[in-house]
Amino acid sequence: MTMAATATRSAISPRAAVLAYLAVSGIVLLLMMLLGLTMRLAQAQWINVQPDFFYVVMTMHGAGMVGIAGLSGAAVMWHFVRRHVPVSTAIFLTNLVFFLIGAVLILGAGFIGGFGAGWTFLFPLPAHSGSLWSPNAAASYLVGLMVIGVGFLLLHLDIARGILSVYGGLGAALGVKQAFGLAPEKDGPPPAVTASTMVLIVNILGILFGAAVLVVSLVNLYVPSFTFSALVAKNMIYFFGHVFINATIYMAVIAVYEILPVYTHRKWKTNWAFYLAWVLSTVFVLTVYTHHLLMDFAMPTWALVAGQLISWLSGLPVLLVTAFGTLTIVYRSGLKWNPAAALVFLGVAGWSIGVIPAIADGTIAVNSVMHNTQWVPGHFHTYLLLGMIAMVIGFMTYLTNPQPRYGFAWLGFWLYLGGGIIFVLAFLLAGSESVPRRYAVHVAKWLPYDRMGSVGAALAITGVLILVARFFAGMRAAAYAEDPT
């Protein structure tokens, strides 16, 4: 089922609004990557960064990358879902404004107030800084997160309104009947609608839980006598955080479903397996967060067992149908490769490869040894840097330079890919040698991994800089162009 989507009146066109999202995303992405490089250079002892400031940088990098992944993923999702359901450009832009306000509060908390508790803000750490930051700095960080969350909640509710107005229910938009053979596959919703519905379900719940624990933490900052179970708070925080960062991949993968068919001249095929994969992933994403708590002995045993089992299964359904669909739509299609197609294809590959060390870490016997090592940033940088971000940059290239013939764009692609591979391998190799994560100061025998990672990061940043510059160069013309067909 499709319809000509309409948008609430706005002074800015829907396409210009998407480009504004991507412009902000490109700038912030580069800034956050530079913060990541700063940490690697400090660990490599190539620059001197004081440990207290290192943790400020780590907190800003973590929060900033999660936030910009969410913002850019939302741009992909909104751009394509509006082809099928009515959505509001005004609310879409409101989310961007909320994001920018929240970002200012968060950056101020870190670089002015010295807040360095980590992007997960585990309760009650924000209120116990050892005099490194004030309650006001912690409050600025927490309020910043809450403002961003409100913006995303408004956006998700608006898209949900549009979906319900066309499909009548979230189950129908998710393809539940097609998944279980209760309705013809040909009558199923388009991939963009199915993926968006899954994201709405999980992210609305995640944001609500996140808002609740943020309020609790804010009250505790100024009323220390107000207490709350730290274990319950940790569950709520990781439920929110894990759902949100997972949802960014499921938003960005819509670019794969929509862009590859343009260049292969083949329709992305949906069937019962496709819809079943999205139904299962909806359940798994809501329950898999407990694998972050496998070392918390106070957790109920049943929750840890569930975390173990679901960790093995969580990413597989959608990943498998997406990877298989990607290979089949490209195979013998006569595709003439260009950076846009190559980037979204890389995104599927990076996501697929990154899941392998993630599943390994989700195994209790491995987790007890590896979870606090650089193995973990190795796996999540693989499927975020070389997966989700690749899809977003592919989308940026698709909008502004859909058929590039410039060697400069290809240079950016290869620098990004080569540097990204070196960067993530440095983390994984260091993790296999039990190099700890989150240490500001490293001993001599860890330095080769840090220096390898620094070189890889510098190459990847250079590649992204080239690709983002190409986006800005083509952005004005793209505001008045039609999507490639």
On whether residue 413 sits in a domain, the answer given is yes
Residue 4: its pLDDT value, please?
A: 41
Confidence at residue 1, expressed as pLDDT on a 0 to 100 scale? 40
Q: Which residues contact 481 (CB under 8 A, 6 or more apart)?
A: none
What is the predicted pLDDT for the residue at 8? 47
pLDDT for 178 equals 95
Is 103 part of a structural domain of the chain?
Answer: yes
Full residue range of the structural domain in which residue 65 is found = 11-478
pLDDT at site 30: 97
Domain annotation covers residue 1 = no
Q: Tokens 């001197």 identify what position?
A: 48
pLDDT at 326: 93
Name the nearest CA neighbour of 333 among 263, 257, 403: 263
Q: Is 483 within the bounds of a domain?
A: no
The residues pairing with 88 across neighbouring beta strands, listed in sequence order, are 8
In a domain, 253, yes or no: yes
HEC per residue, 71-135: HHHHHHHHHHHCCCCCEEHHHHHHHHHHHHHHHHHHHHHHHCCCCCCCCCCCCCHHHCCCCCCCH
Q: How many domains does the chain have?
A: 1
The answer as to whether 485 is a domain residue is no
Asked whether residue 379 is assigned to any structural domain, the reply reads yes
Q: What is the CATH number of the domain that holds 64?
A: 1.20.210.10
The predicted pLDDT at position 484 comes to 57
Output the tens digit of pLDDT for each of the chain's 485 residues: 444 444 445 578 999 999 999 999 999 999 999 999 999 999 999 999 999 999 999 999 999 999 999 999 999 999 999 999 999 999 999 999 999 999 999 999 999 999 999 988 999 999 999 899 999 999 999 999 999 999 999 999 999 999 999 999 999 999 999 999 999 999 999 999 999 999 999 999 999 999 999 999 999 999 999 989 999 999 999 999 999 999 999 999 999 999 999 999 999 999 999 999 999 999 989 988 887 787 788 888 888 888 778 877 776 788 889 999 999 999 999 888 999 999 999 999 999 998 888 888 777 788 888 889 999 999 999 999 999 999 999 999 999 875 555 678 899 999 999 999 999 999 999 999 999 999 999 999 999 999 999 999 999 999 999 999 999 988 888 777 766 55
- Number of residues in the chain: 485
Task: Please indicate, yes or no, if residue 312 is contained in any of the structural domains.
Answer: yes
Count of CB atoms situated within 10 Å of the CB of 433: 12
Sign of CA dihedral 323, 254, 456, 51: negative
